[in-house]
Amino acid sequence: MKVLHVELDQNRSYPIYIGSGLLNQPELLRQHIRSKQVLIVSNETIAPLYLPSLQAALGEYQVETVILPDGEQYKNLAHLEKIFDQLLAKKFSRNATLIALGGGVIGDMGGFAAACYQRGIVFIQIPTTLLAQVDSSVGGKTGVNHPLGKNMIGAFYQPQCVIADADVLDTLDDRQLAAGLAEVIKYGLIRDAEFLDWLEANMPRLLARDKAALAYAIERSCINKAEVVGEDEFESGVRATLNLGHTFGHAIETGSGYGHYLHGEAVAIGTCFAADLSQRLGWLNAANVERVIKIFQAANLPVTPPAEMSTEQYVDLMAVDKKNVDGKIRVILLEAIGKASLPVNVELAQLQDTLNNYSKANA
Ligand code: NAD
Ligand code: GLY
Query: Is 5 a catalytic site residue?
Result: no
Ligand 2 touching residue 143 (CB < 6 A): no
Ligand 2 touching residue 139 (CB < 6 A): yes
Ligand 1 touching residue 302 (CB < 6 A): no
Query: Is 211 a catalytic site residue?
Result: no
What is the percent of the chain where pLDDT is above 70?
98
pLDDT above 60 (res 363): no
CA angle centred on 284, ends 279 and 287, rounded to 5° = 100
CA of 353 to the centre of ligand 1 (A): 33
Ligand 1 touching residue 333 (CB < 6 A): no
pLDDT band at 79 (very low <50, low <70, confident <90, very high): very high
pLDDT at residue 39, rounded to an integer: 98
DSSP string, 105-159: HHHHHHHHHHHHGGG--EEEEEE-SHHIIIIITSS-EEEEEETTEEEEEEEE---
CA of 237 to the centre of ligand 1 (A): 26
pLDDT above 90 (res 258): no
Largest Cα span, the chain? 62
The burial class, CB within 10 Å (0-12 / 13-18 / 19+), for 111 is: buried
Catalytic residue among 79, 243, 253, 330: 243
CA angle centred on 194, ends 190 and 196, rounded to 5° = 60
Q: Is 118 left (phi over 0), alpha (psi -120 to 50) or beta?
A: left
Rounded distance, CA 347 to CA 330, Å? 9
Average pLDDT over residues 355-360: 72
Query: Is 235 a catalytic site residue?
Result: yes
Q: Which domains, and CATH codes, for the chain?
A: 2-171 (3.40.50.1970), 174-361 (1.20.1090.10)
Query: Is 250 a catalytic site residue?
Result: yes
Number of H helices, E strands in the chain: 13, 13
Note the pLDDT tens digit of each residue in 280-297: 889 999 999 999 999 999
**Atom in ligand 1 nearest the alpha carbon of residue 169:** 18
Query: Is 263 a catalytic site residue?
Result: yes
Note the pLDDT tens digit of each residue in 294-346: 999 999 999 998 888 888 888 888 888 777 777 788 999 999 999 999 999 98
- Identify which of 16, 20, 105, 262 to mutate to test ligand 1's pocket (most ligand atoms within 8 A of the CB): 105
Query: Is 300 a catalytic site residue?
Result: no
The residue type of 224 is N
Catalytic residue among 79, 150, 186, 246: 246
- Please count the other Cβ atoms lying within 10 Å of the Cβ belonging to residue 285: 13
CA angle centred on 249, ends 257 and 264, rounded to 5° = 90
Rounded distance, CA 126 to CA 145, Å? 21
Catalytic residue among 75, 79, 141, 330: 141
Rounded distance, CA 330 to CA 350, Å? 12
Rounded distance, CA 108 to CA 99, Å? 11
CA of 279 to the centre of ligand 2 (A): 24
The helix (run of H) or strand (run of E) holding residue 354 is helix 348-361
Note the pLDDT tens digit of each residue in 106-128: 999 999 999 999 999 999 999 99
Task: Say how many Å lie between the first and final Cα of the chain, rounded.
Answer: 45
Note the pLDDT tens digit of each residue in 88-109: 999 999 999 999 999 999 999 9
- Identify which of 108, 112, 141 to mutate to test ligand 2's pocket (most ligand atoms within 8 A of the CB): 141
pLDDT at residue 356, rounded to an integer: 81
14 near 162, Cβ under 8 Å?
A: yes
Q: Which of 17-26, 238-247, 316-325 has the lowest average pLDDT?
A: 316-325
pLDDT at residue 154, rounded to an integer: 98
The helix (run of H) or strand (run of E) holding residue 336 is strand 334-336
CA of 310 to the centre of ligand 1 (A): 27
At 6, is the secondary structure helix, strand, or coil?
strand
Ligand 2 touching residue 242 (CB < 6 A): yes
pLDDT above 80 (res 358): no
Rounded distance, CA 67 to CA 44, Å? 6
pLDDT at residue 228, rounded to an integer: 98
Query: Is 36 a catalytic site residue?
Result: no
Ligand located closest to 176 CA: 1
